[in-house]
């Protein structure tokens, strides 16, 4: 568990987010943090990679600008990378927004390019979450897993391997075990 950091290591926002001064946040106007989320040093969050073609569902202009939306009590460990997924659709290249739920832990050195990550998801160290993958609620991804692009991981799954496959079902207590409120209090 991370030790208590020296004062001034984090910038704290009104909603309780703690963002390390040493993190690399690009395009912060396109990033939403839900509150009480911690971003550690050397993390990269690429808010600048936003949608370049208008959304087909033509929602309000405000939400169209959001590249990365992160929920509450999330924890981005050292040198992890969040990058919105991209693809060429009908000849046009574009990035697509990434949505991350509450209580999501991203381990050291992991790269996340998922389209959606649900609530209470723990991603281990040095994982790669492929483009446009969808990870549902209550999922644990073990260290070093590589999830192939476009993969869907259902709820209560333990994912392991390269390519990452569901190897086990999590117990009923998983929602309590994957809660990150305690972790926030430690920082």
Partner 1 sequence: MELDSIGVNNTTSHNVRYDPDFDPSSDDDDSPPFDPRNPRSAFSLFPLENLLYCEDCHQIRCPRCVLEEIVSYYCPSCLFEVPSSTVKTEGNRCTRNCFQCPICFASISVVSNSDQVTAPTGPYSLTCSYCHWSSKEIGLEFDKPANLTAQFAKQLKAAAAENPKPKYAEFSTYEENFARLKSHYTSQGIGAAGSGTGGLGVGRGATDDYGTSPGTLSRLMGLYTGGGHVGKRNVSGLSARGVGRDANGKKTELTEMEDVEIVGDEKDIIDRLIQVEFDETTTQAQNLCQSRQPKFKSQLRPIATLLRTKRSKRCRACRHILVKPEPKVQSTRFRIKLVAMNYIPAINISRLDPTTSYHSLPPLSTHQFLLTVTNPLFDPISVSLSTPQKTPGKYPSIVTILCPEFEVGANTDAWDEVLKEDSSGEKKSRRGRGDRDRSDGTVWDSGRNWSTVVIEERDEEDEKVVQVPIFVRIEYEAEVGMDSGDVGDVPGGDGRKEKKEHAYWCVLYLGKIGRMHANYKYLLPRRGVIHA
Among residues 146, 160, 179, 187, which is the contact residue for partner 1, using CB under 8 A?
Answer: 146
Q: Which residues pair with 26 in a beta bridge?
A: 46
| Count of residues in contact with partner 1, rule CB under 8 A | 32
Interaction of residue 102 with partner 1, rule CB under 8 A: no
Interaction of residue 155 with partner 1, rule CB under 8 A: yes
Interaction of residue 116 with partner 1, rule CB under 8 A: no
Among residues 46, 50, 120, 140, which is the contact residue for partner 1, using CB under 8 A?
Answer: 120
SS3 (DSSP) at 115 = coil
Residue closer to partner 1 by CB (options 34, 149) is 149
Interaction of residue 18 with partner 1, rule CB under 8 A: no
SS3 (DSSP) at 64 = helix
Cα(60)–Cα(73) distance, integer angstroms: 27
For 183, phi and psi rounded to 5 degrees?
-65, -40
My answer on whether omega of the bond before 163 falls inside 30° of 0, hence cis, is: yes
Q: Which of 27, 154, 18, 140 is nearest to 82 (CA)?
A: 27
Interaction of residue 144 with partner 1, rule CB under 8 A: no
State in angstroms the smallest separation of the CB of 49 from partner 1.
20
Residue closer to partner 1 by CB (options 50, 140) is 140
CB atoms within 10 A of CB 152: 12
For 89, phi and psi rounded to 5 degrees?
-120, 125
Interaction of residue 171 with partner 1, rule CB under 8 A: yes
Interface residues with partner 1 (CB under 8 A)?
Answer: 1, 88, 90-91, 119-120, 130, 136-138, 146, 148-157, 163-166, 171-177
């Amino acid at each position: 568990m991370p030790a208590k950091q020296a004062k001034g290591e984090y910038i704290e926002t009104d909603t309780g987010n703690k963002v390390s001064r040493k993190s690399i946040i690009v395009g912060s106007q396109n990033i939403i943090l839900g509150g009480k989320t911690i971003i550690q040093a050397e993390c990269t969050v690429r808010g600048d990679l936003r949608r370049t073609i208008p959304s087909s569902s033509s929602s309000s202009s405000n939400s169209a600008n959001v590249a990365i939306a992160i929920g509450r009590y999330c924890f981005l460990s050292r040198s992890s990378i969040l990058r919105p997924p991209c693809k060429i659709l009908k000849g046009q290249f574009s990035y697509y927004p990434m949505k991350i739920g509450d209580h999501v832990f991203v381990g050291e050195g992991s790269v996340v390019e998922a389209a959606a990550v649900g609530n209470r998801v723990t991603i281990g160290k040095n994982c790669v979450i492929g483009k446009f993958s969808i990870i549902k609620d209550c999922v644990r991804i073990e260290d070093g897993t590589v999830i192939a692009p476009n993969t869907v991981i259902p709820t209560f799954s333990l994912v392991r391997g390269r390519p990452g496959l569901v190897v086990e079902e999590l117990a009923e207590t998983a929602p309590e075990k994957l809660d990150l409120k305690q972790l926030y209090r430690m920082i």
